[in-house]
Amino acid sequence: MTETTTPQTGPQAGSFRIKLEPRLQEPPRWYPVAVSLGAIFIALILGGIVIAFAGGDPFLSYAHIARASFGNLGVISDTLVKATPILMTALACSIAFRMKLWNIGAEGQFIMGAFGASAVVLAPLLSAETPAWIFIPVMMVAGMLAGALWGFIPGYLKAKFNVNEIISTLMLNYISISWMNFWIFGVWSEGGFQMSPRFPRTAWLPRLLDYAETFPILRGLTTHAGLLIGIAAAFVLWLLIYRSRWGYEIRLIGDNPSAARYAGIDISRNTILVMMVSGALAGLGGMSEITGVVHRLQTSPVAAGYGFTGIIVAWLAKLHPGVIVVVSVLFGALILAGREIQPSGVPKMIQGIILVCLIASDFLLRYRIRIIRAGSEE
């Protein structure tokens, strides 16, 4: 049926009908961006309504977010500090989501990464006098291994027993929090406080303020080398997904597992590997947070929900590593500013509303909406 149609006029009628049609052509490149921005705009309006309903002033809240996150060099630096862990968890989610593996466990893998890195200092695997150039790489490896292990478990269960990875990764989140608490409270507690002792300086990632003597403008800026690690990870991930054999396999499995099987790709093996890489990336995020910001193992700054924000960021960036870098900064701003906003649940709620609006807006990318006059044929 390739025949073209000649327009015909039918009987006229007044009523309208909305018709949805799947898109037969790719929309222009700007279109998805415009749809996403539109969705965020609508989300902010909806969020404002709920804030107003809860007794807050939405305009004040949003203005506050903007000022508190991009107002001056100091807060921009703080925004980047918040963006760093989000960047890594979002990268972690993006590779798993690419294969339609719903790894909701970046939070737990992040925690395990922080734990693994801390263990190097606290166990201790390396003495406090170890130079930084040994300390930092060893902690990175330890964090990534711990995260990878936490990704391996659900990956293996999925590949072997077809266990739903959403639930298993979520359960492992809860388990990882208890696990970290056990070590903080029971083993590594500093004088009965709910935190470990502070790490030695050689186990800290370099920060901008470390160079303030040479460049005075950097005084007080806490942005740390984790950001660079994250950006490098984003680049490697882009190379992996779009330019490597393995990335091709991941994309193929993600789009159509039957076709991947048909092309001779081992899905079980890739399920486990991708979950491990995803876990390792989230674990790297945990390591970076603990060595760049917290400098000790402590529950609340580590289990702060970065893993969940990463899900939203990955989705908003359409799983593209480059876009993830940008979106992470925006969400870093939201979280930074959110600490001072009342009611305190606002950032979380806005994240939820943004995600809902984004998913809903996806629809506009897949369908065209046509309004049809009943009776007419065009």
Taking CB under 8 A as the criterion, the residue among 315, 324, 332, 333 binding other proteins is 315
CA–CA distance, 249 with 252 (Å, rounded to integer): 5
72 contacts other proteins (rule: CB under 8 A): no
d(CA 230, CA 332): 14
Question: In the complex, what is the shortest distance from the CB of residue 253 to other proteins, in angstroms, rounded to a whole number?
Answer: 9
- Contacting residue, 262, 268, 339, 340, with other proteins by CB under 8 A: 262
Binding to other proteins (CB under 8 A) within 78-117 occurs at 102, 104
Residue 241, both tokens: 């997904």
Q: Binding marks (x or -) toward other proteins, 270..309, rule CB under 8 A?
A: --------------------------------------x-
Three-state DSSP at 144 gives: helix
Which of 155/226 has CB closer to other proteins? 155
Give the residue carrying structure tokens 């339609």: 100
Nearest distance in Å: CB 38, other proteins: 15
Across the chain, which distance is largest between two alpha carbons, in Å?
89
Cβ nearer to other proteins, comparing 60 with 372: 372
Least Å distance, CB 285 to other proteins, is 19
* Residue of 171, 212, 218, 330 interacting with other proteins (CB under 8 A): 171
Give the dihedral of Cα atoms 79, 83, 84, 90; nearest 10 deg: 180
What separation in angstroms does the CA of 350 have from each of 44, 88, 93, 271, 321?
A: 7, 21, 20, 32, 23
Instruction: Decide: 341 and 367 in contact? Cβ < 8 Å.
Output: no
User: Of 35-64, which residues contact other proteins (CB under 8 A)?
Assistant: 50-51, 53-54
From 122-130, 178-186, 216-224, 324-332, span contacting other proteins (CB under 8 A): 178-186
- Which of residues 181, 202, 222, 299 is near other proteins by CB under 8 A? 181
CB-CB contact of 282 with 110 (8 Å): yes
CA 125, distance to chain mean position in Å, is 30
Q: Are 219 and 72 in contact (CB under 8 A)?
A: no
Token code pair at residue 279: 């876990």
Stretch that binds other proteins, among 79-87, 203-211, 296-304, 336-344 (CB under 8 A): 336-344
- Min dist. Cβ of residue 240 to other proteins (A): 9
Task: Establish if 2 lies at the interface with other proteins (CB under 8 A).
Answer: yes
Selected binder of other proteins within 29, 72, 161, 213 (CB under 8 A): 161
| Residue among 14, 15, 18, 214 that touches other proteins (CB under 8 A) | 18
Which residues make beta-bridge pairs with 372? 17
Q: Which is nearer to other proteins, 134 or 359 (CB)?
A: 359
Which range binds other proteins by CB under 8 A, 193-201, 222-230, 250-258, 320-328?
250-258
Burial of 251 (0-12, 13-18, 19+ CB in 10 A): middle
One-letter amino acid identity for 72?
Answer: N
Among 41, 246, 268, 340, binds other proteins (CB under 8 A): 246
Could you tell me the end-to-end alpha-carbon distance of the chain, in angstroms, rounded to an integer?
A: 19
Is residue 126 within 8 A of residue 135, CB to CB? The reply is yes
Task: Select from 65, 92, 312, 323 the one that contacts other proteins (CB under 8 A).
Answer: 312
Does 3 help bind other proteins (rule: CB under 8 A)? yes
Query: Which residue of 14, 15, 21, 300 would you call a contact of other proteins, by CB under 8 A?
Result: 21
Q: Which two tokens stand for residue 292?
A: 């760049």
**Min. distance of Cβ 293 from other proteins in angstroms?**
23
> How far is the C-alpha of 181 from the C-alpha of 193, rounded, in Å?
12
Instruction: Name which position in 182, 193, 215, 235 contacts other proteins (CB under 8 A).
Output: 182
Helix (H) or strand (E) holding 152: helix 132-161
